[in-house]
Amino acid sequence: MANYAVITGTGAFVPSRVVTNKDLEWEIDTTDEWIRTRTGIRQRYIASDEEPNSYLAVQASKKALEMADVRAADLDLIIVGTLTPDMPMPSVACLVQKELGAARAGAFDLSATCSGFLYGLSIADKFVRDRRRMKVLVIGSEVLSRRVNWDDRSTCVLFGDGAGAAVVTGTREPRGILSTHLHADGRLWEFLTIRALGTAHPVTPEILDKGWQYIEMSGRDVFKNAVRALESVTWEALKANAWTPEDVDLLVCHQANMRILDYLRERLGLPEEKVFINIHKYGNTSAASIPIALDEANRSGKLRPGMNVLMVSFGGGFTWGAVAMKW
């Protein structure tokens, strides 16, 4: 008898400090109007030095575990999608495992930028289909404010910090995750990159002077590729489940840019109420964006049992993907 992976709990957490577009007007050469009309963003949360990635991830996880009524000690696996870990070693997942006291759980980080949560969910799906009783905690968590160049107004206004988490376990009922779709195109990596802080470039004063420790983005190339990839993976997921756009009850897309979300909604002919939007509150939180959105939709009653939910993402790498679910 087939097993299905279901999400039984969600959680989200953001740092306490809110930075509005108006606040940014004091710091950099920008305006609230430019940011709102180009991106839809009105504010973002910025972590303090006492709020590293793992701290945000732990807080979101506690909420997800509480909702799922699962003890940390019963977790089998912790997967964290992130591009901004506390440090190269250990992984954020190991720090989360320690803080939660999830002694039985394996733990690893996954590097798929903004698609990290959907990549993680896909892996959880495979484990749980194999062993129905497995309990997997999938997290997307980022502190992007440390990786943006606050002297580059074209990128620093876009990003925010936060974390979201989901508890995934098994059922014999045909619901939960119905299909997963993962893609990448490494040829286009230079359109969105942080060149340094890995092993390709030593951290020298020259490298730091060039700003290679920060996010570099070719905005228009990202936009062009994002809309193309998001639309194509959406159709792929619809086809895999014999759905038409009308069958989708809620589209939870990576919150990168309001214009990308509007484009996708128009291409699919979906009404506004079927596309979840919270970019105005958080900015682009990369791997955290979908699980934060999912948790908000869940807790606000927008997600109800039996609904067809489609999650789609796109990010640096490039990576993109989709997960179709019966909630």
| Residue 222 near ligand ACO by CB under 6 A | yes
Is 254 noted as a catalytic residue in this protein?
yes
| Residue 257 near ligand ACO by CB under 6 A | yes
Tell me which stretch binds ligand ACO (CB under 6 A): 75-83, 134-142, 216-224, 266-274. Answer: 216-224
| Residue 315 near ligand ACO by CB under 6 A | yes
Out of 114, 181, 257, 278, which one is annotated catalytic? 114
Q: Which residues contact 109 (CB under 8 A, 6 or more apart)?
A: 79, 80, 81, 82, 85, 91, 92, 93
| Residue 314 near ligand ACO by CB under 6 A | yes
Residues touching ligand ACO, count (CB under 6 A): 24
| Residue among 194 and 309 whose Cβ is closer to ligand ACO | 194
Out of 254, 257, 278, 298, which one is annotated catalytic? 254
Query: What is the closest distance, in whole angstroms, from the C-beta atom of residue 9 to ligand ACO in the complex?
Result: 26
Whether the Cβ atoms of residue 13 and residue 160 lie closer than 8 Å to each other: no
DSSP secondary structure string, 158-225? TB-EEEEEEEEEEESSS-EEEEEEEEE-GGGGGGEE--SSSSSS---HHHHHHTTTS-EE-HHHHHHH
Is 280 noted as a catalytic residue in this protein?
no
Tell me which stretch binds ligand ACO (CB under 6 A): 11-19, 46-54, 92-100, 149-157. Answer: 149-157
- The backbone torsions φ and ψ at residue 78, rounded to the nearest 5 degrees and listed phi first, read -125, 125
CA distance 303 to 294: 8
- Residue in 49, 205, 209, 220 binding ligand ACO, rule: CB under 6 A: 220
Residue written as token pair 């905005």:
219
| Residue among 63 and 254 whose Cβ is closer to ligand ACO | 254
- Amino acid letter, 152: D
| Residue 192 near ligand ACO by CB under 6 A | yes
CA distance 45 to 145: 9
Helices 258-268 & 32-39 angle (0-180, nearest 10): 30
| Residue 41 near ligand ACO by CB under 6 A | no
CA distances (Å), 177 to each of 81, 101, 308, 324, in order?
Answer: 18, 28, 10, 6
Per-residue binding letters, 267-286, with ligand ACO (x by CB under 6 A): -----------------x--
| Residue 256 near ligand ACO by CB under 6 A | yes
CA distance 261 to 204: 39
- Per CB under 6 A, residues contacting ligand ACO are 30, 34-35, 38-39, 114, 153-154, 157-158, 192, 217, 219-220, 222-223, 226, 254, 256-257, 259, 284, 314-315
Residues annotated as catalytic (active site), given as ranges:
114, 254, 284
